[in-house]
A and B are shown apart, each in its own frame.
Chain A
Amino acid sequence: MTILSIFDIGLVVLILAVGAASIGMREAFSAVIGFVVYGLLLSIAWVRLSAVDVALTEAAIGGGMTGMLMLGAVARLRFAKGNDSRTSLPVRLAAGILCALVAAGLAIAVLSPPEVIPTLAPMAMENLPQSGLGNPVAGVLFVYRALDTLLEKVVLILALLGVWSLAPDRMWGGIPGLRVYAQPNSKLTFLAQLLPPVGIVVAVYMCWVGAKEPGGAFQGGTVLAAMWLLVMIAGLTSVPSISQRWLRLLLVAGPMIFLAIGIAGMVLANAFLAYPAGYAKPLIVAVEVALTLSIGVALGLLAAGPPERVQRP
């Protein structure tokens, strides 16, 4: 047994233990912290499986972004402690049975793999040079399965609409209820002044390098969102009201440009979401840039939560 396989076994045991601990925690806050640790460990596991793209996304979305959303939910729950009602036994039983069924289904799929594992990887690699891309993951996302990627971005906006609709009617179009820590000249101000320039460069780098190496719109967008949130939480910039035109334009810019290029493909390349020969890479990079901005704004607003204040005229 090599050192690496000992490491892998240790990692798997640790992931299972943290997952179980996170489910078993009585307090919501500790459970969320457990979940964030679980996400980070899982991203190490993805690195060990040589899936660096997935590892980056898992660390950014699974650990960071989702963790922040859930911490927000915990804070809200604590705030609304008044109607503290325990879920009834049948509901808990039903949830437990459903989870067990899903787990059993996954276990069957994992434990009884087909004789020959079907793979499209050789074909994907063979045709990749035609797109001008170097990263096979970007190739799958933007060439072979472009429709999925487009829909995924639309789903992100639908999720944001879902969060916004939690606001009462009179708050519609108002300012998201992000907790702002506005103490001038505090350490947080310092961090919020120092970090964003670095973070923006990292985000641009991740987006740009995504065509060739691991990285891409989602990873870059998450970093952008984190920087934006940091600046807003430190009170250096105000939280915009969701009715701002520029905000909404940025939100839909990515999917709209993607869709426009897709429709143009029907005329120029004879298929929806096909790229004209020779122009694949520049078009994909253009889409990635627009998507990075849109994802950054969407994730930032998701974390900021539903509108809670109305802008004073």
Chain B
Amino acid sequence: MRLVLDIFTVLAVSAGAFFFLAGTVGLIRFPDALTRLHALTKVDNLGLGLVVLGLLPQANGLFGALKLVTIWLLVQLSGAIVTQLIAGTVRQHGPRE
């Protein structure tokens, strides 16, 4: 059972890391602010979600697991809203330079 959970952790966290990598590539390669934001948030939520999912079996009891999920939810919330704010500013004033 332990081994199965460990394998699950490794797979999920690796998948999460892959999404982070994809997001970073998108951030560097995409042409303008809006598409970059798109790449960043989509992939951030999924990447962090997978990392948290993978870490759940390793968490320190129910309380530790709850903390992990809360962190993911908080990052989702702030990430989504901050992105909306940046995108709104870009649309209003246009990108800098």
Contact = CB atoms under 8 A, between A and B. Distances in A.
Interface of A: 187-188, 190-191, 194-195, 198
Nearest to B80: A187
Contacts of A190: 81
Interface string B65-97: 000000000100110010011001000000000
Interface of B: 74, 77-78, 81, 84-85, 88
Contacts of B77: 191, 194-195
B78 A191 contact: yes
A238 B77 CA distance: 24
Contacts of B78: 191, 195
Of all A-B residue pairs in the complex, the 7 with the closest CB atoms, nearest first, are A191-B81, A187-B84, A187-B81, A187-B85, A188-B85, A194-B77, A190-B81
A198 B84 contact: no
A194 B78 CA distance: 10
A46 to B, nearest CB: 19
Contacts of B81: 187-188, 190-191
Nearest to A190: B81
Contacts of B85: 187-188
A196 to B, nearest CB: 12
Contacts of A187: 81, 84-85, 88
A190 B85 CA distance: 12
A159 B74 CA distance: 32
Given A187-B81, A190-B81, 4 more contacts: A187-B88, A191-B77, A191-B81, A194-B77
Nearest to A181: B85
Contacts of B84: 187
15 contacts: A187-B81, A187-B84, A187-B85, A187-B88, A188-B81, A188-B85, A190-B81, A191-B77, A191-B78, A191-B81, A194-B77, A195-B74, A195-B77, A195-B78, A198-B74
A190 B88 CA distance: 15
B14 to A, nearest CB: 13
Residue among A190, A191, A198 having the largest count of chain B Cβ atoms under 10 Å: A191
Residue among A187, A190, A194, A195 having the largest count of chain B Cβ atoms under 10 Å: A187
A282 B74 CA distance: 32
Contacts of A195: 74, 77-78
A187 B74 CA distance: 15
A191 B75 CA distance: 12
Nearest to A183: B88
Nearest to A29: B96
A187 B81 CA distance: 6
B3 to A, nearest CB: 20
Contacts of A194: 77
Nearest to B82: A191
Residue among B74, B77, B81 having the largest count of chain A Cβ atoms under 10 Å: B81
A286 to B, nearest CB: 26
